Amino acid sequence: MEDKEKKKQTRDTTKEVYDSLYKEKVRKENIRRYSIISGIVIVSLAVILLIYFLVIGPYLERLSKEPKSFDVVVSLAYGDVKVSNVILGSSKGVEIGYHLKEGDVIITSNDSECELKVSHFSEIKILENSVVSFSELITKTKETIREINLQSGTVLSLFKGKKPNERLNIKTDSGFASVRGTYFYVSSDNKKSKLVVAEGKVSMSPRLKNLEEVINLSKDEGLKSKILTMQVDSGIFVEGGKKSEVTPDTSKKAQELIQKDVENIKNLVAQGKNISDDALANLSKKVSEIKDKLNLKSYDASPEELGLFKKDSKVEVKNISITIQIGSIKDYKSVIPSSDYLLTFSRNGVVYVSKAGVIEFPLNNVYSAIAYKDDITVLNSDKDNTLSIKFFSTSSTNLKKEINISEVSKGIKVIGNIVRVDDNVVVPTTKGLLIVNTVNSNMLMVNVGKINSGITLFGNSLILANEDGEVYKVKLDKIGNIYSLSPKEVIIKLADVGVKEKVSIIADKDGSIYIVNKTKVHKISDNKEIFVSNTPETYYEPILLDKELLITSGDKVAGIDKESGKEVYNIQFDSNIVGYPYVKGDYLAVNTTKRTYIYDLKTRKELSRYDIVGSASYIEGDKVYIVSGNKIFVASIK
């Protein structure tokens, strides 16, 4: 009995020992596991903190310090023009297309100019030897107030405030000009600030710096707006043909007249107290009395002062009332290239530039246009959606003739540029080719299959391509005074042409046909494919030269040998090319997103460059015409 009891005690003791050892083992294992997990967590946190301090932190800090951009862009920079940013502590040369930021200061040196586009419709020209900064304020009432601080020099403004809630203020050390829409300039030096108005009305007043202190001190947007209004009310209105001048002494006296009331309001703002209506009314009354107490007046501007508005830029500028929209009309090329003229579309119609000069034909919704002999033929739809073909002279905007094609073109879509053949206009559509006689207005729709290319005129035939890759020609047969089309003759079928991408077709004088399909050029002669050449990706129709095809791709133009299909040269530019290059003789004009270049095609050397972002160019003699925004700049090539 005792033995059994001893054995039982031994087993219990052994079990306790094993249980104790097991628990200890588990405890140590858990400690080890937790130590590993803790280590991983600590290392991960350390890595995250390291990434934050080394990468994310500095990035967020830079982001928080990045000045906000304004809706003001540099549209022209000539000569030595620099922009310094007082927030970033940076300084660099100004580039076309640069958006001004908070803290920017533009500095123009001798014989230099800079033009700014404000909200896409207003212009500010900064003349030579000027220092200008820019700020913007959106008030509680959603009024946008843009302010130019003219430290020295001259700014000329064509400010067309299209919205009633937009205003431009120009501040000098002693003067303050405020405007909603007009044409004027302000100049400033140590002796005086001068305002000269060409059109409209501008408020001119002494600069009240003590009022500005209230604006800077207050966080109340409503109060800021009222104080800004007071500054404007302290001045006189200067009308077109007049001028007004303010000296530093005038500004000092004006501030003294209101100093007591301003100090009272500043103290209330600093203490966080409300400003009573009576206090504001008293200040407003004294501000409005400044012009009478200081006898502020306007005078007739001299012919020399008004002459500044007519002064040429550093490049000769020919103003026309257009704004070019390259590529704004879907599926159509908005520039018709020719060595003898430039034909392009604007928001207002069609612009024709030639040796005779510049003509703008006022039209709505232009689909296509072509110059033929002494005529300009235009396909467009009017405000009532009437589709018609209009005919103008190349020397006048008078409409010579109009043919309404709405009935025959119902339910179809125009898919390419029109072609003029003698007295007939050929319009490519989704149903076929519409042929319109220009003499008796007869019309004929000819089904030639699904067109997927432009139309190329070759002799008395039209060359086209369809989405199945068939390249074919249709002969123009004259029946009476209107052309008809003979059955199509397939020249060749190219499997990868026309299936997905619209192609360009160019016919050479030797009978060769070049088909350009985005990244390939096919040469066809005698109904045979001579070569297929891989080219840089292009969306523009190539230009046919004597020995090369000129291909535009991204930031370069490449010359493709017409015999071998190989690239024989390329010219690289500093940014992407805009629109068609222009070729006349040995001249090559190229517009990029930064400037315009003139090259010699023989030597492939640069002849000239202009700090103008253009959308199209034309060369006549030793002059180049550069279409940019709503202007045509005319400059010497050499």
Contact 389, 402 (CB under 8 A): yes
pLDDT of res. 578: 82
**Tell me, what's the pLDDT at 159?**
66
Confidence of residue 349 (pLDDT cuts 50, 70, 90): confident
| Residue indicated by tokens 């390419």 | 416
Which pLDDT band, with edges at 50, 70 and 90, does 138 fall under?
low
Query: CA-CA distance, 409 to 388, in Å (whole number)?
Result: 10
User: What is the band of 461 on the pLDDT scale with cuts at 50, 70, 90?
Assistant: confident
The arithmetic mean of pLDDT across residues 253-264, rounded, is: 91
The yes-or-no verdict on residue 15 having pLDDT over 70 is: no
Could you give the dihedral angle defined by the CA atoms of residues 363, 364, 369 and 373, in that order, rounded to the nearest 10 degrees?
-20
**Alpha carbon distance 566, 9 (integer Å):** 101
Upper half-sphere CA count for residue 424 (Cβ side, 13 Å): 24
Question: Mean of the pLDDT values across residues 405-421?
Answer: 80
Within 13 Å, how many C-alpha atoms sit on residue 247's CB side?
A: 6
Tens digits of residue pLDDT in 542-594:
888 889 999 888 888 989 999 998 888 888 887 888 878 889 889 999 988 88
Q: Beta-strand (E) ranges in 200-286?
A: 201-206, 236-239, 242-246
pTM of full prediction above 0.85: no
Query: Phi, psi (5° rounding) for residue 214?
Result: -65, -45
Q: Over the stretch 277-312, which tens digit does the pLDDT of each residue have?
A: 888 899 999 989 999 999 999 999 888 888 777 654
Give the pLDDT score at 249.
Answer: 93
Structure tokens at 84: 């310094």
Judged against a pLDDT cut of 80, whether residue 62 lies above it is answered with: no
